[in-house]
Amino acid sequence: MQEFEIKKRELDFRTKEAFKTLRTNIEFSGENTKVICITSAMPNEGKSSISFELAQSFAVAGKKTILIDADLRKSVMRTHYRRGNVKYGLTHYLVGKKTFDEVFCKTNIDNFYMVFAGPVPPNPSELLGQERFSTLCTQLREQYDFVIIDTPPVGSVIDASIVSKNTDGVVVVMSSGAISYQFARKIKEQLDTAGARVLGAVLNKVDLSGKSYYGKYYGKYYGKYYGNYENSDNPDKKDRESAEAK
């Protein structure tokens, strides 16, 4: 077993709430929704960051979670999220050079485990489509509460469609304003053809400045909510003030 330390970073309030909402929506998508594929329409839409933070959110909530970096073509996790000497990854396991116990990693966060991608193979689609990967997904389903699998963009290569056959659902990450409605529909059709169950989409890289639509909406929502909370006779607020006074 390998070990590595996660680089800690503090998320702002709205980002934390967004991941809690995503986590909750997945939990309510079905009792047997445990193995989840994360993909995107195009490169650079933030799917790896979403995968990582989502897996960490499940772990912090007390769910035993493992994150599989199945983006064998262009992984960013090995440079963004690890500290320590991690030698082996998913590729080593899929080609039969290492056992799963030798490639998976324990992190410094309780309930959070991970498998990095490993070296870039000449045939990533074939490796992900073989029985060895399918068997791995079946085994992990029994051992963990949630299995999050980060895959390459479905609009660029076929890998995500292949992986989706072994999962309980797919979440598609899309950057705000980056792709057309027609292209998003083609992505959905491609996943449907592969037999994937699309759980939904994550709208990423949203402009939350006051001038944008989302900035005005969320600014008004949170401002109104917390403004009313602070100025109301809310019993929770009174209890909090009483505790602080003591």
220 and 155 within one domain: no
222 and 185 within one domain: no
pLDDT of residue 208: 65
190 and 168 within one domain: yes
pLDDT of residue 93: 97
Tally Cβ neighbours within 10 Å of residue 141.
17
Nearest in space to 221 (alpha carbons), one of 14, 21, 12: 14
pLDDT of residue 205: 81
Give the pairing type, strands 65-69 and 112-115. Answer: parallel
Question: Residue 147 maps to which CATH number?
Answer: 3.40.50.300
Q: How many domains does the chain have?
A: 2
Nearest in space to 119 (alpha carbons), one of 90, 81, 83, 79: 90
Tally Cβ neighbours within 10 Å of residue 116.
24
Confirm if 105 and 113 have CB atoms less than 8 A apart: yes
End-to-end CA distance of the chain: 49
125 and 213 within one domain: no
Cα separation, 163 vs 160, whole angstroms: 5
86 and 178 within one domain: yes
101 and 20 within one domain: yes
Give the pairing type, strands 112-115 and 105-106. Answer: antiparallel
**Length, in residues, of the chain:** 246
Q: What is the pTM of this model?
A: 0.83
154 and 235 within one domain: no
160 and 140 within one domain: yes
pLDDT of residue 237: 41
Domain that holds residue 233: 207-246
Cα separation, 229 vs 2, whole angstroms: 47
Confirm if 55 and 100 have CB atoms less than 8 A apart: no
Longest dimension (CA), the chain: 66
92 and 115 within one domain: yes
184 and 221 within one domain: no
220 and 152 within one domain: no
pLDDT of residue 211: 58
pLDDT of residue 24: 93
Token pair, residue 154, equals 């479905």
pLDDT of residue 230: 42
Mean pLDDT for each 10-residue chunk of the chain (246 residues)? 80 85 92 94 91 94 96 83 77 96 93 94 95 96 97 93 95 88 90 93 77 51 45 44 37
240 and 171 within one domain: no
